[in-house]
Amino acid sequence: MPMLGAIITPHPPVLLPEVGGGRERAISATGHTMEEAAREVARWNPEVLIISSPHTILYGDYFHIAPGSGASGTMAAFGAPQVRIEVQYDARLREEIIRRAEQAGLQAGTMGQRDPSLDHGVLIPLYFLCRAGVTCPIVRMGLSGFSALDHYRLGQCVAQAVEALGRRVVFVASGDLSHKLKADGPYGFAPEGPVFDDAVTKAMASGDFLRFLTMDTSLCERAAECGLRSFQIMAGALDGLAVRPNLLSHEGTFGVGYGVAVFPVTGQDDNRRYAAACAQFQKERLAARRAREDPWVRLARLSLETYLREGHMLQALPPDLPAELTEQAAGAFVSLHKNGQLRGCIGTIAPTEENLAREIVLNAISAGTRDPRFPPVRASELEELEYSVDVLGQPEPVASPAQLDPKHYGVIVSYGRKRGLLLPDLDGVDTVEQQLEIARRKGGIRADDPYTLQRFQVVRHS
């Protein structure tokens, strides 16, 4: 049985005494259980470690797997250059994983490496594993913007490659939990933070990996989680295998969740194959959301689907649209999401069409085909898209940032002919400072430019 087991590990730099300088004692339970997990891996005696890390190169539409014969890295960025680790890569296993991923229709490979150095998401687990005597070659992989199911499928490809080559392998899923557990933490507090950590640690303790695959993407975004997609790949690598789950610890002392768990493989279990259940869950969730769409959102969806499938704009508006759509004019933004990630967003601050319906028609098509941040939406993606429509109120000038609230007001930052706009109540935008920084960046406006501010309210349809 080549897959020996897996471990989940956090990667806080402060955990290392060379970095923490004593602060690591505040999370001593995490340190002790990291040592315990490393000793267990040493007892399994692996020939290869496969490590997934949120801090390895991440692309929205590609799984990056580190190329070359090996790499090294240090903790110099965290004030400890003396902590240095060097590893060899198992090139043959890496290529077999890539080959099987390509056969499965997944975009994965070694292209696009920007920095060959080992990131801290890899260095910190290796620090403890090396100290426990685990010094075998590794395969290092990053995450992507793909769906939970695609991360699971990559894990399945890992397991198939391991089986084909007969390697004795342990999967190391590196990832912190929510970064929003405490108001005095470095990232502040969000109610979704503790909810996320509770759900994920219950999955670790029970071994119910389907929970990793069915988490609400909006909750995950608001919780500012780090490692879920890493855990999803791990779940796929253990597809069809019986495990003995053991959650060793969970701490949130610094406002960030750290969980340590081990999953030794104990045999086969066909009831632990979750791909079909995950696919069905995604299908039902999208169908339920689509059934709840109001006329604003249905019009946006119909506009883009007609354009991509039939090659032309709507010839006529649907009958029986509400009067607000046909008799009023307003600026509107249409946003597209896929797998919980933004897929396109285009809008108008003020009306440019005779009515709001026509505004939505044009902006939906633009969101899918003309957002410069993304490639045009393909017709094959349409069934996976989620839409929202924001109808903008009249902008009003404000004298200072003190009059802003990112949950209730959007913001327009203007300097000369430059203008940057950000909608309100966006996942991950919790402070006025964040809102202004993003809006300035979108408009190409520097922080020291004498810009002016406007705020506006929206009615969101989703």
pLDDT along the chain (462 residues), means of 10: 93 97 96 98 98 94 96 97 98 98 97 94 98 97 95 98 97 97 92 97 98 94 95 98 98 97 97 96 93 96 97 92 95 93 93 96 97 94 95 93 93 94 88 93 93 94 92
Structure tokens at 278: 């995950």
pTM of the model: 0.89
Structure confidence at residue 430 (pLDDT):
84
Q: Please name the residues in contact with 323: beta carbons below 8 A apart, sequence gap of 6 or more.
A: none
Strand residues in 408-451 grouped as ranges (E) = 410-415, 418-422
**Ramachandran angles phi, psi of 72, nearest 5°:** -140, 165
Structure confidence at residue 1 (pLDDT):
57
CATH architecture of 3-281: 3-Layer(aba) Sandwich (3.40)
Structure confidence at residue 392 (pLDDT):
95
Burial class of residue 398 (count of CB atoms within 10 Å of its CB; 0-12, 13-18, 19+): middle
**Domain ranges in the chain with CATH number 3.30.1490.150:** 394-462
Yes or no: domain 394-462 corresponds to CATH 3.60.40.10: no
**Domain ranges in the chain with CATH number 3.40.830.10:** 3-281
Structure confidence at residue 84 (pLDDT):
97
- CA proximity to 37, closest of 11, 2, 9: 9
Report the relative pairing of strands 418-422 and 410-415 from DSSP bridges.
antiparallel
Q: How far is CA 38 from CA 3, 46, 129, 147, 414, in A?
A: 16, 12, 5, 30, 54
Homologous superfamily of the 293-392 domain (CATH): Hypothetical protein ph0010; domain 1 (3.30.700.20)
Structure confidence at residue 146 (pLDDT):
93
